[in-house]
Chain A
Amino acid sequence: MNATIGRWIIFALGLCAVTWIVATALRDSRPEGDTRTVSGYKPWEEETLELAALLPVQDGGRVKPLGTFAGFTMLSLHGARSMEIIGEGGEKVKIKPLEWMLDCFFRPELAKELPTFRVDNSEILEAVGIETRGRRDRYSYNDLAPGLDKMKQLAASYEQISRQDPKLLKPLEKQTLDQVYNIRTFEFLTGYMDFARNGLLPASGKVEGKILPVSEVMAAAPKIRAELQAAASGQPVSQEVQTITVLIEQAANSAKFGLNLFPSKNKEDAEWISAGGRIFNIFTGTTREPEQSIKDIKMLEDVATSLKSGESAFREKFAMLEASIVERAKERDEYRSIPLEADYFRKNWFIYALVWFLAAVVSAAVMFFTGQTKAGKISYWATVAFLSFGLIYLIIPIVKRSIIMERPPVGNLYDTIIFIDMAIVAFALLVEWMTRKRFVLGITPIVAAFLIVLARRFEVGEGRDHLDPLVAVLRSNYWLSTHVITITLGYASGLITALLSIVYVLLRSLRLDGGDTSLRRSITRAAYGCICLTLVLSLIGTVLGGIWANDSWGRFWGWDPKENGALMIVLWALAILHARIGGYIKEWGLHLASIFGGIVVAFSWWHVNFLNVGLHNYGFAAEKLWTVVVFYAIMSGFILLGAVTCLLEKRAKAVKTAREFGVKEPVEV
């Protein structure tokens, strides 16, 4: 095989990888299925959305902008951050999370028409008699309505089984349960403003058709409470009070979950209160700020009812509500990162990074075919520049996330993906700076782009906000910035080593190096250096983890799967280095072993999460394990390719030597 064919093979492989990445990225960002028509749907005005995005709410244990809350809620229900419909006048409308959430709160009749629910297995709908389309599709609340009662009944029984042992649930039952949880979330959102929109309709009001705003009834709470207390000592309760009590309870319950909107004046009360909580507390006499509670509910009523008068009136009332909440949040020092966070999610940094990396792939391809010509040099520098820009577009969001979270950048699995992506690109540029041999520039942008797609996929799969605060045992900025960062850099280093070795295997097996031993030696040196780096980072990271564990759990080493995975990386790096010094492996051996090192890293980084044991347990669903197995298979493929090439080369060399010395070709026995 000559080098030209080899180049085309590499090009084809690279093209396949990039096509897959681009196709996945596009598919993830585009809506699936038929575009639904929701006649009468009018998009929200841009000014309204800008205003609403910055409303602070408390969710997941922290205060965040409504935009973030909407984004992750939509992601968990819809499996994407946007949906496309045909709205009023037959126009295509792209609905983003904030718009969807405003619909849920203020236009629930339209929200119930939107294809909100992603259903991955239509069997769960067929089981309750709902008309289905494809196996995977999206459904509106109204589509699901005919079978909802039955589905909820089933879910209640599955919930009981799950309480005993979640492992007893069959996949279909688990999916039904999850679906019902999603439906419940949607019902909380769409029912949240019911009280504000509709008020109460007591018996006296029915005759005149006059509704009674909840805030007005709240003002009469002391009187109602007094009457109810008197009832305890035997006095009769008026019909009016009885009805109001029932209606108030209904109103409070409908607005109890979904949105914790009101911070308490008292800084020691960490929990923000929902509208339902405000209503409930005033009637039970358990609030220290009755006047503010009434004002808050009045503001919500004004916002909800103002929409009838047009969006500008709505905005005016919304701005008043927001200003009041922001002021209180600032007093509690909880508003600090809201604008920053809203900006972080608006900018879509990782998508830009993806674009830079894809650009780097293109320029690397040009570089690959143009060699040392002028075009080759230009494309070389373009690749370095694009990679650097990509790196910057990874560093910025990672830094922003750290500022928002007030902790070092890595605290959960999602964080590790983007951090490792950043580290791999940084290491690759470092290797290039040290060797100036271009060999990492072709493969790095592909891997970097792949990791961004993986991060997005993972985020969609989890459907939760990874900026949320950490559990007690992880709340240590000292250990997060030492142990976690070091061990994660160790993973990145292990992966870049495997990449370098894959480059080596491809160069030699496809004869791309033209027998240039200095190039081979450079790659080997770089791989060796990276193994050393992997060892240092993994060893220090692992032992620091042990010291942390010793301080938090009382044991240095607990044979927890995650710890074991890290130890395996250390042991493998040590084994490679010792085998090399002992002369048991040479160039080929080092590279094949370092590709296997990539498998060990994948085991430690991902596979152990599927085992569902230990203290670093992320509770992964076993059905996704195949993704890790595919990675193992690809790495094993490279090892096999390298091993076969190595054997063929050795055999060819032996034949050549035999010929030179006039000995007959060796005959295999």
Chain B
Amino acid sequence: MSKKRRTIQWRDIGAPFAVFFAALALWEALVRWKNVPPYILPAPSVVFEKLIEDRELLFSSLMVTLGVTFEALVVATICGVALALLIAQSKWLERALLPFAITLQVTPIIAIAPLLLVYMQPGNAVLVCAFLVAFFPILSNTSLGLASVDFGLRDLFDLYHASPWQKLIYLRLPSALPQFLTGLRIGGGLALIGAIVAELAAGASGQGTGLAYRIVEAGFRLDIPRMFAALALISLSGLAIYGALAALSYVLLRGWHESARADQE
């Protein structure tokens, strides 16, 4: 049983890695075979060399971008959950507040970012952009979770005269956990996208030190390998955020929720 599980896990991990490295090898071979110059399309080995060569610069920019992403995600989580709880208390509040949240969600962040840069310091504007895109999925998923409590369990809590606080702590919050974690996973990825978009806007106006700024800067210098190196770091960061939040979700839901159980079987 355990041997079988181990085999399945290797296959699961091995397949995407095999495809990824095969694609890199093909890319490398094509660039070398066709003698494509690095300012048109650098080979993966050149990008990797650039990554090593510029590691200090790129790493410090990565830390800036990740810092903003993390801060935005934390604030979006606190605000998203708080607003979801508020909305869950009354239909009136839901009707009054939800349209504003939806308006913020459907307005493209790339259109908001330049405006925010007019009114705020670049760092704050980037943070607000990342917050705005991460906030809505956390709010909507948590709201859905809070509203989807099993009717039988609601009856049970009513039968034992549970207070609203007891219902929240022992029933509604644990019931909403799977949906909240789904929102968090989506929000984590979007926070990074929001930060990058805002950094691009800030970078275009000559401000900012995040990874997106490095891409803009490298573009001005036609340093295409550095652009690819920064892009690779952004992709890896996105994967790492998703992986970390998926792992958190698995740990918290393991043993009782269908989504985590499906992975075990």
Are chains A and B native binding partners rather than an unrelated pairing?
A: no
List chain B positions with a Cβ less than 8 A from chain A: none
Chain A residues with a Cβ under 8 A of chain B:
none
